[in-house]
Structure 1
Amino acid sequence: MTSDDTAPASPRVSASLDQGGSPTVRSLDVLSALRPEQTEAVLALLAEAALADGQQAVSEQGRLQLRGGAREGVRHLLLTAQGLLVGYAQLEDTDPVEAPAAELVVHPAHRGHGHGRALGNALLAESGKRLRVWAHGGHSAARHLAQVLGLTLFRELRQMRRPLTDLDLPGPKLPDGVRVRTFVPGEDDAAWLAANAAAFAHHPEQGSLTQRDLDDRKAEPWFDPDGFFLAFRGGELVGFHWTKVHAAEGLGEVYVVGVRPGAQGGGLGKALTTIGLRHLAGQGVPTAMLYVDADNKAAVTVYERLGFVTYETDLMYRTES
C-alpha cells in the first residue's frame, strides 16, 4: 500500500453529550499509513499531551511508526470532533502469540468528553476484543479507563534512575576471552539484529526488531555509534549495551543491554552496563535512566546494586480473552 492509500473505506461517526449537555459529534478514521500533514498533527497532539502529563503517551517505537508509510500489522486511529484532532491511538498486531498492543492519547484540552472511551472501544473492535493497552505513568485516569473498558492489569514496567554526577563504580570485569568495541553502522547491523533476537527471544517487542527498525533509530538525531558497545568472543557477538542521550532532559539512557543465552551468567551484562554508564557520565548528563519489567527480579536486583531506584511505572492492561 502506498502513502496515498490512507483513506478508510468510510469514517465512523458517533455522537454523545459533553459535560455541558451539548452534542459532541466524533469521526474516527482507521488508517494503515498517515499522510505527512496527519503525522504532524498527531505529533503536535503528542507534544501537547506530554507537556501536560510530564511524559510521552506513545512509546518511541510508536512515534517512529508514524512516519515512513505503511508497516505490517500497524493501524492508526484518528479521532476528530468538530473538525479538530482530539485523540490518537496506535494498534500493533505483529506478535504471533500475544493480543494486539495499543497506545492511546486524548488532547489535554479535550479530555472529559468521552473521547478516551471512544478510542478504547474502537481499539476493542479493531482487535476483535483481544487487546493489550499501555498506560504510561499509570495515571489514575488511565486506570479508570481500563476499568471502564473491562481490562485487567498484567504487566508493570519500571523506569529506574540514578545520578551520574557521583558515579563511582568498580572497573568492568569482562569474562575471559571477551573484547568490547563500538558499533560500526552498516557492518554490524546483521550481527546485532541476530544477537538481539537471541537475547530477547522471550521479549517480542525487543526481539522482533528488523533492519527497518534499526535504520529508523540510526536516522534519529540522538544516534551515536560511540555509545553503542558490542562484546565479542572470538568472532561471535555475545552481548551489547546501546546507550542513548536525551540532551533536552539531561538524561542518559541504558537503552538496551542484551546477552546471548550461551553467554549469560558470567557477569557480562553487569560489565557492559558499567561500560555504558561510564560513557554516559563522560557525556556530562547528570542522570541515568532505564526501563525494566518489574517481574524480572534478577535484572531489577542488578540495577538496584548499581544504584538505580524506581522513578515511575508504566502499566499494561489487557482483555481477559
Structure 2
Amino acid sequence: MIDIRSSDRLSAAEVADVFALATAADEADGISPLSEDGVLGLRGTTHHHLLAMGEGGELAGYAYVNDSGDGELVVHPKHRLRGHGSALLAAAGDGELHFWAHGDDPGAQVFAEKAGFTRARVLWQMRRSLHDLPDVPLPAEVRIRAFVPGSDDEAWLGVNSRAFAHHPEQGRWSAADLRVRFAEPWFDPAGFLLAVDPADDHLLGFHWTKVHPAEGDEPAIGEIYVLGVDPDGHRRGLGAALSVAGLRHLAGLGLGDALLYVDESNAAAVALYRRLGFEVFSTDIQYAR
C-alpha cells in the first residue's frame, strides 16, 4: 500500500521537496506541473496537501485540492506507473473535483478517464512578439496611471468582481488574494495599469502585467496577467487600448515576447487577442468529476 500523508500546511522541508519534484517533472515533460495557484498554495493555508511517499521515504507524488475543489497532481518521473497517481486521487476523496493537466497530453487524458473524470475546460496560453505593436489609442476622457497598493485595493476588487462575474476563479478574488500577490517578488505597481476617468479618478478598467524572469535557456517574458473593463462603465475600445498600453510597458522593459492565458470558450477575449496578434502556444485541460 502506498503511504499518503495529508496536511493543511506543509513544513519548509516538505515545500522544498514538492518544488524539487515539480522541477524534475518539468524537465521530463517540458512543462511545469504547477500553476500559480499551486505555487502560492504551497506557502499558505488554503490548500489541502497530499504527499505520496516512495519506498525509500522520498517524495514520489504530490496533489492538492483548494477551497473550491480545484487541484493539481504530479508524480515524479522515476515513480510513474506504480499507482501513486491513483492513490493520490483516491485520497482526495469521492466528491466533486476539478484537476488541471498542463499540456494536452494523451497519457493524462487516459489517466483521467480511467478515474472517472471528463474534459471540462480548455485553457490556452497565447503569445506574441513585443515588436511592431499596433497603435490603439485610449478612448476620449480616459487616462492611465499606476495602481497604488492600499489606496486602490477596494475599487479594483469591485471592478474585478464585476468584470469576471462568471469566471470560476478570477471573479472570487478577495483582499487577501491581492495581498498575497503584493508580497511576491515579481509584483511591480508600475506595471499594474489603471484606466480612470480624469474628472473624478473613477476606475474604468485595468491591465495588470507580470514579468517572468529568465530561467535556464528561456529568456524573461512578459504577461497580460489580468485585464478587465468595468461592465458598468464600459468605454468602447478600452479593452484593446489597455492591452496595448500594457504590452508597450513590457516592451519598454526590454522584453521580447508576451504571453497570456484565456479560456478557449471565451470567444470575445480570444477574438480580441487574435486581433492583437496573439496565437495559441500551449493548452491546459481541466478534468472534472
Please report the TM-score for the alignment, with normalisation by the length of structure 2.
0.93
Q: Which residue of 1 aligns with 2:181?
A: 217
Distance 2:28 2:132 in 1: 32
Which amino acid is the alignment partner of residue 134 of structure 2? L
1:202-281 alignment runs, 5 A limit:
202-233=166-197, 234-248=200-214, 249=218, 250-264=220-234, 266-281=236-251
The alpha carbon displacement at 1:266 in A equals 1.0
- 100, 120, 128: which is aligned to 2:89? 120
User: Is residue 66 of structure 2 the alignment partner of residue 66 of structure 1?
Assistant: no
Distance 2:225 2:177 in 1: 14
User: Is residue 72 of structure 2 the alignment partner of residue 103 of structure 1?
Assistant: yes
User: Is residue 125 of structure 2 the alignment partner of residue 152 of structure 1?
Assistant: no
1:111-190 alignment runs, 5 A limit:
111-123=80-92, 125=93, 128-164=94-130, 166-170=131-135, 172-190=136-154
The alpha carbon displacement at 1:232 in A equals 1.2
Distance 2:175 2:98 in 1: 25
Which amino acid is the alignment partner of residue 274 of structure 2? E
Distance 1:106 1:208 in 2: 30
Distance 2:233 2:75 in 1: 44
Contact 1:162–1:307 (CA under 8 A) maintained in structure 2: yes
Distance 2:27 2:160 in 1: 33
The alpha carbon displacement at 1:137 in A equals 0.9
Which amino acid is the alignment partner of residue 37 of structure 1? A
Which amino acid is the alignment partner of residue 149 of structure 2? P
Q: Structure 1: any 5+ residue segments left out of the alignment?
A: 1-13, 15-25, 95-99
- 27, 34, 44: which is aligned to 2:3? 27
Change in Cα spacing, 1:265 to 1:157, as seen in structure 2 (3 Å) is farther
Q: Structure 2: any 5+ residue segments left out of the alignment?
A: none
Distance 2:182 2:275 in 1: 31
Which amino acid is the alignment partner of residue 244 of structure 1? K
Q: Which residue of 2 aligns with 1:93?
A: 67
SS in 2 for 1:204: coil
The alpha carbon displacement at 1:106 in A equals 0.5
Distance 1:275 1:52 in 2: 37
Q: Which residue of 2 aligns with 1:18?
A: none
Contact 2:206–2:228 (CA under 8 A) maintained in structure 1: yes
Runs of 4+ in 1 over 3 A off after TM superposition: none
Contact 1:167–1:281 (CA under 8 A) maintained in structure 2: no
Greater alpha carbon shift after TM alignment, 34-43 vs 291-300: 34-43
Distance 1:84 1:291 in 2: 34
The count of corresponding residues between Structure 1 and Structure 2 is: 282
The alpha carbon displacement at 1:122 in A equals 2.1
Give the root-mean-square deviation of aligned CA atoms. 1.5
Give % identity: 50
Which amino acid is the alignment partner of residue 314 of structure 1? D
Provide Cα deviations, 1:84-129, integer angstroms capped at 9, x if missing partner: 11111010133xxxxx111100111211212112212222x2xx33
Which of 1 and 2 has higher RCO (CA within 8 Å, sep 6+)? 2
The alpha carbon displacement at 1:136 in A equals 1.0
The alpha carbon displacement at 1:265 in A equals 6.2
Contact 2:22–2:33 (CA under 8 A) maintained in structure 1: yes
- 68, 77, 85: which is aligned to 2:50? 77
Provide Cα deviations, 1:25-75, integer angstroms capped at 9, x if missing partner: x2111211112211111122112212222222111012111113x22xx21
